Chains A and B, each alone.
Chain A
Amino acid sequence: MIPRPLSLLCEITYRCNLQCPYCYNPVDLRAYRDELSTDQWCALLRDAAGLGVVQAHFSGGEPTLRRDLAALVREASHSGLYTNLITQGTFLDDDLLAELLDSGLDHVQISIQAPQDAAADRIAGAAVHEKKLDALRRVRRHEVALTLNCVLHRLNHDAIGDVIALAEQLGIGRLELANVQFYGWAYRNRAALMPTRAQVRHGEEVVAAARERLKGVMEIVYVLPDYFGEFPKPCMNGWGHQFMTVTPNGYVLPCPAASAIRDLRFENVRDRPLAEIWRDSESFNRYRGTGWMPEPCRSCERRELDWGGCRCQAFLLAGDAGLTDPACSLSPHHPIVVALREAAQETELVARRA
């Protein structure tokens, strides 16, 4: 049986004024310049609602660079969808925020690169940290849900406690501390971004203590780094199970990173209706459910908990998207992940001393 999709990620543009090296966007950004029109996005949102989708996430790139963002939010909201804006916040001034709220925006997620401006601006490649804090304070004053997000990696992981303190100071109710996932630009930069084991252990302790202390005040979502767990992440809760991503130029992907899988042909809403792509396409059906699974997934008790992990990661690391995710300790390809993780440990900086 074909499941009902619940969530649609609209990557409305890959344009962005920042240069974060941990971005999961594809490295060949120029291939995505032929963006869908306002009408095409609106039709897509209506079709998604018709299929049963209940949430639309507007992301990118930087989605506020599209001047029709508020019109798209309005269309989604009119179609009964919960609307979520994932932004780095540098263009979220009073006018744009008012327009978005008037269009029915339900939730804003703003990302920072680090808790202090020098470090944050270095990672972002532009002097924007203060603007982001302004945007956070601005959104905080309104009747809309707000999440502060900080992607963690080697360069900022030690500041995790300061990120939590900043969130407290800003009165944030929901904080997402997500370790970098190695796709797109982050895959290219993974040796420099991989956290050390000591950082991860420290991070877990800090988060556990903060959760206890801030119970009922702040919800802290902590996403473990991929290469450190015993089992893989249940990527997308299963391929073609609940999630769809649409790229700026209209390709429909089962996972935001799926374009990395070079031997799978993805379909475009310019050529085929969304409902058919979801239901009938080879790209959505190839890894749907559990029938495609090889060992050790096929006979694994966890096969419907983690769904074999991430198809894109299996392709990137082991060369075949139809294999168990090498991040799983049971995968025969797990030594690849161990080697990448351990290589990062050895490149730790040594402080100078006499």
Chain B
Amino acid sequence: MNAERRPRLGKGIKLHHNRDGGVMLLVPEGALVLNPSAAVALELADGKHTLTEIVDAIVERFDVSADGARDDFEALFDRLAQRGFILQ
């Protein structure tokens, strides 16, 4: 997969910030509870940031390795893309 892809949220997909700081991805007929790093990644999935930039931001803010984060978030975006929640 191309690291220069610029993922963005699909039609009708939204991030929701709870009052307690938690973040959910709202999709037709459902809501996915996001962990803190996934929330940051999806905040940056705006069609402007590349996957590389998103992974860099994660590595900067969380205690994770760059290689591990790249694999994890490529997989996350691919999973979400398969359901139409992410376009990339």
Interface residues of A (CB under 8 A from B): 6, 52, 54-55, 80, 82, 84, 106-107, 109, 143-147, 173-174, 215-216, 219
Contact = CB atoms under 8 A, between A and B. Distances in A.
Nearest to A4: B18
Interface of B: 10-14, 16, 18, 24, 26-29, 31, 81-84
B41 to A, nearest CB: 20
A82 B16 contact: yes
Contact of A174 (B14, B18, B24, B28): B28
Contact of B10 (A84, A109, A145): A145
A55 B31 contact: yes
B81 A143 contact: no
B28 A54 contact: no
Contacts of B29: 84, 107, 147
Nearest to B82: A216
A6 B28 contact: no
A173 B31 contact: no
A173 B87 CA distance: 12
Nearest to A218: B84
10 smallest beta-carbon distances between A and B, as pairs: A145-B12, A82-B26, A107-B28, A107-B12, A106-B12, A145-B11, A173-B84, A145-B28, A216-B82, A54-B16
28 contacts: A52-B18, A54-B16, A54-B24, A54-B26, A54-B31, A82-B16, A82-B26, A84-B28, A106-B12, A106-B14, A107-B28, A107-B29, A109-B28, A144-B12, A145-B10, A145-B11, A145-B12, A145-B27, A146-B11, A146-B12, A147-B28, A147-B29, A173-B10, A173-B11, A174-B28, A174-B84, A216-B81, A216-B82
